[in-house]
Each structure stands twice: as structure tokens, then as C-alpha cells.
Chain A
Amino acid sequence: MIKALLMGTTALALVAGPAMAQQKTIKIGFISTFSGPAAAIGNDMRNSFELALDHLGRKLGGLPVEVVYEDDEIKPEVGVQKTQKLIESDKADFIVGYIWSNVMLASLKPLVDSKTMTVITNAGASQLAGDQCSPYVFSTSWNNDQTPAAIGTYMNQKGVKTAFLMGPNYAAGKDMLNGVQTTFKGKIVGQELTRWPDQLDFSAELSKARAAKPDAIFAFYPGGAGIQFVTQYAQSGLKGQIPLYTAFTIDDLSLPRLKDLAIGVPGAQEWVNDLPNDANKKFVADYKAKYKSSPSFYGAQTYDAASLINSAVTAVKGDLSNKEGMRKEMEKADFKSVRGNFKFGNNHIPIQNFYLQDAEKAADGSYALHTVSLIVKDDQDKFHNQCPMK
């Protein structure tokens, strides 16, 4: 009896064996920050990616998915090492992620050299949009200067004549402060780049801003630093005197901790959780149901990355060696984006709308971000002319 069973299973295994081998999988290498305070961002990205896979039946273009998550610890040297590991030892078909511009820039060379299909879901260093653009690297986020440029436009609309700019001293901080100045027509009366990521007390800089007597302060402080900045801005008594305009400082992750302090502080964003398209409604509702919290723009961009990869792998019928075919399909951006449909520029950076967002307190005491208005339509970054791809 036992012998018969054994023989039966062996026979089954023999039959199943070759079939199993033919069943290809698609391997995704995912780089984000999963340790330290910024782990909240990385978790939101991972949650959104997992949710997208759930929505796609745990398959991308018909292939079962295997995701390898790696932690960059917000350190460029760790990011590049993890990127190399994903390329060389995991042989990832796609690499997805990157929150921080400096980490992404450090990791870009191995990605480009190995011609790995890459979807960057947040970091938007200007070099990537310009002379370091690459055929197999796509972004589902933006270039760093676009969001602050949108808020600069809004500051013009509000009649702001003088502004004081603040941000952290790394690749993105510099891009952001330059970005505001591309559209803001008033005078910059001062700007501060603070130590990153270890400086958390901004009292000296806020005193400077107060002394400069500007009409407005612009700030870019991503992640946890945004909570500290907005809190200290409020405590310093500046809130009633000098209005604050932000980019990437108040988001769905920081809002539950900022609460009332975030109300009345405008920001620009390419995606807001209440954008009224069907893909977004499904994403936000299912995210809330699954994870009991509100998704952030980091998550939305990562969700889009899964849809983008799905469209590409579907188009080549699962033939992952056909990178050219996948690239051509991805350039069409033929998928339902949660921000509403968009096109890719020649540099593979989205051409998209930017909205004004504001925090509101609901009747039940919870806080949420809302779309106030459209600031710019179909905005393209300023660096696409420097990109050799046409």
C-alpha cells in the first residue's frame, strides 16, 4: 500500500516536474527604506505594491511574481550595494523603488550598465531627467523641480512678493529650492540648506526667517523631518505671521501626527487620495480596508509601478528577454494610473498635472488631505531637453 502510494507520488512528481520548470516567474527587486524612522515610507510603498499584486491576481503579465525587498537605510552606499545584489545574485527582472534622490543617483550606474528594467517610484533627481536619462529606466513619480515649481506658481497667484526658502542639504533639497525659483516671480530674501539627515532642530533657521520678514516661507522636509519642521514652525509663533508653503512636507503619513498643525498649510502634489478616478477610488478604498490607514503619494506611485510593469510584460506575452518590446510598451504608459492617465516625456518622466492640497479635519475627528484645485496641467520637467533620448 505504502509502496503504491510512493510510486504514485513519484509518478505525479515526474509528470508535474517539467511543467513546473516551464512555469516562469518574474522577479522584482524592491529597494526602499525599511529601518529607522523612514521605515513608515518604505512600509507604505511595500503595502501599496502588495495591494497592486493582489489586484492583479498575484501575477504580472500572467507570470507569478517573486518580490525581493531590500532596505537602503537612507544611505547611498548601502543602496548601491543592495542594487548590485539584486542585479547580480538575485538576477531581478525589474528593480522598483528608491525614495531618496541621493540613494537613487548612487545606484543609477549599475542599473544603467546592466540594462536592468527599472521603475523609480519616488526619487526625482534632476540628473535622471536630464543627461543621465536611460532607455530602461522609468519614473512613476516626477522630477524634483516640478512640485516646488507648482507651489511657486501658486505663491504668485496668492500675491507673495518675498519668500524665504528652506530645505535639507542633499540632492533633492537643492533641486527643490531651485524648483521654486523657476516659477516664483517674487524676490528670494534668504535660503537655508540644513544638515541632512541629522539636524532636527530648526530654531536658528526659523529665527533667521523671522528676521528676514518675508511674505512667505517655502519648505521641503520629507518624512519625519516634515513633522518636526511644521511643529517647530507653529511653536515659534510664525504660523499667524508668515504663511508656510510646502512640497513633500505634509503627507498622509505625517498628517495623523501633525493633526491641527497641518491645517491651513498648502502643498502641491501630483496625486491626492480623493482624486475622482475609478482606479484611485479602488486603490484608496482597498488600501484602507487592508491596512487600516490612508495611503500616501509614495504608495500611489508604487502602485502605479506595478500596473506599468504589468502592462509591459503583458505586451511581450511574458517574454522577459524582450526588453526592447517592454520599453516600447512602457513608453505608451498604457495603464490606469491612480493619478489619472498621463504620458511619459522623452526622458521617461511623467508629464502630469499638479494639484493644490490642503488638510481638513472631518466631523469624526480624523484628518485627511483634499484636492483644492488644479495648479498646472500636463507639466513637464525643465531638464528633458538635456536628455539624449528623443
Chain B
Amino acid sequence: MLYFIEQCLNGIQLGMLLFLLAAGLTLIFGIMDLVNLAHGSLYMLGAYFAATFADWTGSFVLGAMLALAASLVAGMALEVIAIRPLYGRSHLDHVLGTFGLLLFFNELVRLIWGPAGMTLSLPSEMLNAVQVLPGLYYPIYRLVIIGVTIAVALLIYVFVMRTRLGMLIRAGASNREMVGALGVNIKLLYTLVFGLGAALAGLAGLMQAPILTVQIGMGENILILAFLVVTIGGIGSIRGAFVASLLVGLVDTFGRAFVPDLLHQHLSEAAAASLSRGLSSMMIYLLMAVVLVVRPEGLFPAATR
């Protein structure tokens, strides 16, 4: 039972990390109708910023906050310089343009920080496990990730649903011209949304940096998962992204944790070994296939946002 709870926590934690990445992606896609492959680059930048600033300041928390601000600025600058010409073009142009940006950022990071990658060390008080339940130890930092992400999810919800700016963003999503005609500076609004998405990606990057890695191209694999989450959750829906992230996180973790043992009980050793490896890495894609068959628009289609 404790083992089951531990694996649930693992799944939730992975889901939370995916949510931070997917929330920005779905926000940009849903509101600005922009397919952004460079989202993974912003995730990478967040991690590199955090590692650099933490080095300079000697403090993890301070470094993280500076990195968050830097990601926001970098995102807004990117929107003004490179993303604006892409609006109103086809999705293929978006993919080509932002894929170019992805290559550009990989090379930029190599030039600035070198090819070896960096380390973002945790403060010693976070570098251990804590007893969650009697007999169940869980890494403190992973609990921190879960906590921070839930807080951020609530903040986004309040911001989009309860503030005037959020209302304008939602209005801009449904009818860009009308909002512009009413005297709202829609260009600035889009820059802001893109910056917000970049900051979320940066946050995801810096939060995972102490567990996973700070290296070139780190955003590319996880971006696939983030797109998966966005597709399952329903394009443009933050709520959908949240639910889908949890689902993907849990399914992926359970696939790795329990599927091999289940197969071992019912199949021969060799068959179970080869099948379980294939199956556990396929689980999340199966999940997406099932969701798309049942609800082609995703779990929470944007209309019900």
C-alpha cells in the first residue's frame, strides 16, 4: 500500500511538471492560435538562467526568482522580434518558423554556456527525503514541486477568470478584431500572453533542473509529452491541461511501476520482459489514442473553457 502511494506521488509529481509546460503551451495555442515548437527552448532557457543566477547569488530561491523574471523578459522579446510576423499565417509556417528558433536557441546556448551542461544544486535542506506517512519517505524537493505547481495553477485560474486582464485575454481569444476595435491594445496583450507562457515554461525548466538536467536540447523530449497533454486536455483549455497532465503523469508512472509485474505473473519470463518494456513506454500514447477516439476534441474542448 505504501508502495502504491509512493508511486502515486511519483506520478502526480511528473504530472505537475508537465502541467507547467503544457499550461504555457495551451495558453499560447488556444489564445494566439500559434503552434510554438520553441516552447521547449524557453524551458531550457529557464533552467540555464536559474543555474547561472543561482551561481551568482549563491541562493537557489533567489536564482529561481531572477530566472523567472528573465524568462518572462526573454519570452516577450522573442514575441516582438520573431513571433509577430507569424500571426495569421498557416500552422505549417508556425512549425517551420518556431523549429528554426529551436535550432537557434540550442546553438545560442552552446555559444554562451558551452556544450557540457550545468548543475543547479539544491540547498542542503531540500536535498533529502521526508517521512510523509509512517514508513513512507519521499524527496522533499518533489513535494515542493507539487506544492508550487498547485499554487501556480490556482494563480493562473484566478488571473484568467477573475481579473480584467484575464477577461481581455479571453475576449481576444474569441474575437481578435472586435477586441482591437474596442480600443484594447491587442498587440501588447499578445506579447503579455506569450511572456506569461514563456515564464511558465521557464518555471518548469528551473523546477526540474535539480532533478533532471540542465543541458542543450533538454526541452525537446519533454515537449512531445507536453503536446500530448495539450491534445488530451483539449487545445486551449487550462483546466484540461491540468487534468491531462495528472493523467499522463500517473499513467506513465504506473506503466513503469506495475505493468512489468503484472505481465510477469501471467507470461513467461522472456516474453514479459520484452513486452513490458514496450508496453510501459507506449501507455501514454495509448491513453491519447483512447481519449481521441472517445472525445476527438480532447477532454475539455476549448468551447467549454
Contacts and interface: CB of A to CB of B under 8 A. Distances in A.
Interface stretch (B32-40, B111-119, B174-182, B292-300): B111-119
Tell me which of B118, B211, B217 has the highest count of chain A C-beta atoms within 10 A of its own C-beta: B211
25 contacts: A37-B216, A37-B218, A39-B115, A40-B115, A40-B117, A194-B256, A195-B277, A195-B281, A203-B14, A203-B142, A204-B253, A207-B7, A207-B10, A224-B215, A227-B213, A228-B211, A228-B213, A234-B127, A235-B128, A235-B129, A235-B210, A236-B129, A238-B129, A257-B118, A257-B119
A80 B113 CA distance: 30
B257 A207 contact: yes
Nearest to A234: B127
A257 B117 contact: yes
Given A37-B217, A203-B10, A236 B139 contact: yes
Looking at chain A's contact residues, the main secondary structure is helix
Interface of B: 3, 6-7, 10-11, 13-14, 115-119, 121-122, 127-129, 137, 139, 141-142, 210-213, 215-218, 221, 253, 256-257, 277, 281
Contacts of A43: 115
B129 A203 contact: no
Interface of A: 36-37, 39-40, 43, 169, 193-195, 198, 200-201, 203-205, 207-208, 210-211, 224, 227-228, 231-232, 234-238, 253, 257-259
A201 to B, nearest CB: 6
Given A39-B115, A203-B10, A203-B253, 16 more contacts: A195-B277, A200-B221, A201-B212, A210-B6, A211-B3, A227-B213, A231-B210, A231-B211, A235-B127, A235-B128, A235-B139, A236-B137, A237-B137, A237-B139, A253-B116, A259-B119
A107 to B, nearest CB: 23
B213 A237 contact: no
B277 A200 contact: no
A204 to B, nearest CB: 4
Contact of A40 (B3, B6, B116, B218): B116
A207 B129 contact: no
A185 B171 CA distance: 68
B256 A204 contact: yes
Contacts of A208: 257
A203 B142 CA distance: 10
Nearest to B255: A204
Contacts of B6: 207, 210-211
Given A37-B217, A43-B115, A257-B117, A204 B257 contact: yes
Contact of A198 (B116, B118, B127, B221): B221
Given A40-B115, A207-B257, A235-B128, A193 B141 contact: no
B212 A200 contact: yes
B211 A37 contact: no
Contacts of A253: 116
B213 A224 contact: yes
B257 A37 contact: no
Nearest to A293: B116
Nearest to A191: B273
A245 B257 CA distance: 22
A36 B213 CA distance: 13
Contacts of B3: 207, 211
Contacts of A257: 117-119
Closest A-B pairs by Cβ, 7 of them: A237-B129, A37-B215, A39-B115, A257-B119, A203-B10, A204-B256, A235-B139
A232 B256 contact: no
A195 B115 CA distance: 23
A259 B128 contact: no
A203 B117 contact: no
A232 B10 CA distance: 12
A235 B141 contact: yes
A198 B217 CA distance: 11
A205 B217 CA distance: 24
A237 B128 contact: yes
A224 B209 CA distance: 13
B211 A227 contact: no
Tell me which of A39, A40, A201, A205 has the highest count of chain B C-beta atoms within 10 A of its own C-beta: A201
A232 B128 CA distance: 10
A258 B6 CA distance: 26
B171 to A, nearest CB: 39
A234 B213 CA distance: 15
A198 B284 CA distance: 15
B48 to A, nearest CB: 13
Contacts of A258: 119
